[in-house]
Amino acid sequence: MAYRRPSASRSHSSSGSSADLPELTALNPTTTLPQTQFDIFPNVTTVSARPVNISQSDAMTSNLGPSNDVVAEFQVRTPQPILTTALIKADYTCMTNNAVTPLLECIWKYSSRHAFLPATPIELAAGHRYWLSNKLLADEWMMIFLFVPGLLDSAPPEVRAAFDNQVYNLGTLSEIGLGSFADVMEQEDYTFTPPSGFRSTQFTRQPFQHGFPPVQSTQHVPQGRMQLASASAPGLPSGISSISSVSVFPLQSVPSGAAAFEQNPAAPPIFHQLLRAQGITDSGFRPGSVLPKDNVNKAWSAERIRAFVEIQHKSINQLPPTAFSSYGTEMSNFRTPESIDVTCCPFETSLEENFTYFSNICTLNREICVRASKHWQPMDIARYINYAHDLQTPGVFGRSKIGHHFANAKVWAEAHPDHVPAASLRNISTDSGVRGKNRILHDYFLYSMGDGVVRSPHGSKRQMLTRVIEHIRNVTGDRSVRLSEAAAYAQKWGITVPAHEQMDFTNLAVEDQLPSTAFLAMIKADYQHKFPGKDP
């Protein structure tokens, strides 16, 4: 990530918090700001004593830099750029980045809904809110500045100082309470749904159903959740489609370890038949409902069973007993299985994409692990995967397991001294630590590869695989497209990576470097906020 921490040469004053600024009473497109707008710079005179008239519609064209920063010999500071709504809307990255636009929409929605509350001068000038009621910079802004670091240079000094402070002093997050505009609005209005890519566990706690109608391209569907477009039929549980012409797979997966398989009410009654075929007669039995303490066989998710039937062309009655294991975790019950054949992927991938969409195999596979170990440590990977999937079980994907995979990958690398890590998965070695039935590799459904993903890769790490999966989940809703068909799907829909976000896959020594210190601090704090005093 190209994040650059604000330069030490910038003037950050402790008096520059929103709490110290005079409060005005309404957001107004055109506001006359008093002299005190620039009084946060001690011992520095302003260019003029006249009030400054700033319009929300003005897209400011000046940039921070030596030419318009403090002129030392005259001790004069010119007004700095203000990150207005118009400036953001004119920014190509902001308005085309799928990770950023939902956050901006949330900010503007909150600003509109809370226009009657007192606003600070910088909020009045910008046309949108920055601060929560607890005087902290909202998490939406924290994420946006991490995704689009250049925006931070155009932010007011108070905002830059708050960002810097909150990124590098995240240890008290557990005491803060509400950290986002989305959280505030959700508490005010229980019908509000936070945008995708934001901190909320409700996405991964919802069971999914099969047979959804295609989604129109103008609709936005959060990545971890799909809503039915049709009304439920009388007598069916809420969220179950009444369309009889849509083929429905017999089982549905839910992410929690409490129930790996639940009978899909829209499908034929096959769940208990399958259990009886395995000699399981307990009506309350749910595969994958017990957290394992050792390395044991785990239950198969419904999507993996679907791949067994539709991709491997097996009868559902041929499922091995291990598919109905009582053991399971969030990762095995709902995410891409470790039995996926990564060589089906036609694209070169970033390490972050491997961690996100191949989580269960990314370090088990010797060659992928060798590439990752060049720059990442087991703790970094464990935190990243926990953050990307917003896992709710402590230690379910931990560093000790990844460290064991690192050791095995090192042995593999020593046996292959000529091996050079590559970004392409097409010809990658399938040598790995998978066991038993997991060694039978298979293609998989692109839509299902996004199951459980709450925070997808962003910036230059968001390459073709991420873009195709997001398009399938957010636009077409096609559950049948396979990983091996991803290139054809991308060509059909004209999906490409903009030139300014393309990775240089010939220079992995640079591209595979760890994210910024700020990002690493954030994912560490995210884990410790959910599980105080623990590390993965």
418-466 residue pLDDT tens:
999 999 999 999 999 888 888 999 999 999 999 999 999 988 999 999 9
Q: What is the Cα–Cα distance from 163 to 149, expressed in whole angstroms?
A: 11
CB atoms within 10 A of CB 219: 12
Question: Do 162 and 220 lie in a common domain?
Answer: no
**439, 361, 367, 429: which is closest to 401 by C-alpha?**
361
C-alpha dist (Å) from residue 360 to 84, 342, 482: 42, 11, 18
For 287-343, the pLDDT digits (tens) are 888 888 877 889 898 899 989 989 999 888 788 888 888 888 889 988 999 999 999
Tokens of 116: 């009657």
CB atoms within 10 A of CB 536: 26
Three-class secondary structure of residue 84 per DSSP: coil
Report yes or no on 5 lying in a domain.
no
- Which tops the pLDDT comparison, 172 or 181? 181
Question: Do 178 and 221 lie in a common domain?
Answer: no
Residue 474 DSSP code: I
Query: pTM value?
Result: 0.57
Please say if the pLDDT value at position 189 is more than 50. Answer: yes
For the chain, what is the domain count?
2
**374, 396, 369, 356: which is closest to 527 by C-alpha?**
396
Report yes or no on 10 lying in a domain.
no
The alpha carbon of 365 is separated from its chain's Cα centroid by a whole number of angstroms, namely 23
The torsion defined by the Cα of 256, 465, 356 and 212, in degrees rounded to 10, comes to: -10
Q: What is the Cα–Cα distance from 214 to 131, expressed in whole angstroms?
A: 38
Q: Are 334 and 451 in contact (CB under 8 A)?
A: yes
| Residues 6+ positions from 404 with CB-CB distance below 8 Å | none
Question: Do 174 and 218 lie in a common domain?
Answer: no
Question: Do 225 and 116 lie in a common domain?
Answer: no
Question: Do 287 and 341 lie in a common domain?
Answer: yes
Backbone angles phi, psi at 161, to 5 degrees: -65, -40
Q: What is the Cα–Cα distance from 90 to 162, expressed in whole angstroms?
A: 24
Most confident stretch, 171-185, 247-261, 382-396: 382-396
Question: Do 214 and 331 lie in a common domain?
Answer: yes
Length of the chain: 536
For 335-386, the pLDDT digits (tens) are 999 999 999 999 999 999 999 999 999 999 999 999 999 999 999 999 999 9
Question: Do 431 and 473 lie in a common domain?
Answer: yes
Report yes or no on 300 lying in a domain.
yes
Report yes or no on 358 lying in a domain.
yes
For the chain, what is the largest distance between any 2 Cα atoms, rounded to a whole number of angstroms?
Answer: 87
Task: Output the pLDDT for position 363.
Answer: 95
Q: What is the Cα–Cα distance from 123 to 119, expressed in whole angstroms?
A: 6
CB atoms within 10 A of CB 393: 15
Question: Do 167 and 233 lie in a common domain?
Answer: no
Q: Are 328 and 287 in contact (CB under 8 A)?
A: yes
Q: What is the Cα–Cα distance from 204 to 389, expressed in whole angstroms?
A: 8
Q: What is the Cα–Cα distance from 147 to 93, expressed in whole angstroms?
A: 10
The alpha carbon of 280 is separated from its chain's Cα centroid by a whole number of angstroms, namely 38
Question: Do 118 and 36 lie in a common domain?
Answer: yes
Question: Do 304 and 213 lie in a common domain?
Answer: yes
Range of the domain at 480: 205-536
Pairing of strands 52-55, 30-33: antiparallel
**376, 369, 472: which is closest to 429 by C-alpha?**
369
Report yes or no on 499 lying in a domain.
yes
Question: Do 38 and 63 lie in a common domain?
Answer: yes
Q: Are 323 and 271 in contact (CB under 8 A)?
A: no
Over the chain, what is the mean pLDDT? Answer: 73
Report yes or no on 199 lying in a domain.
no
Q: Are 476 and 510 in contact (CB under 8 A)?
A: no
Q: Are 328 and 290 in contact (CB under 8 A)?
A: yes
Question: Do 213 and 85 lie in a common domain?
Answer: no
Domain final residue pick, 162, 188, 214: 188
Q: Are 473 and 221 in contact (CB under 8 A)?
A: yes
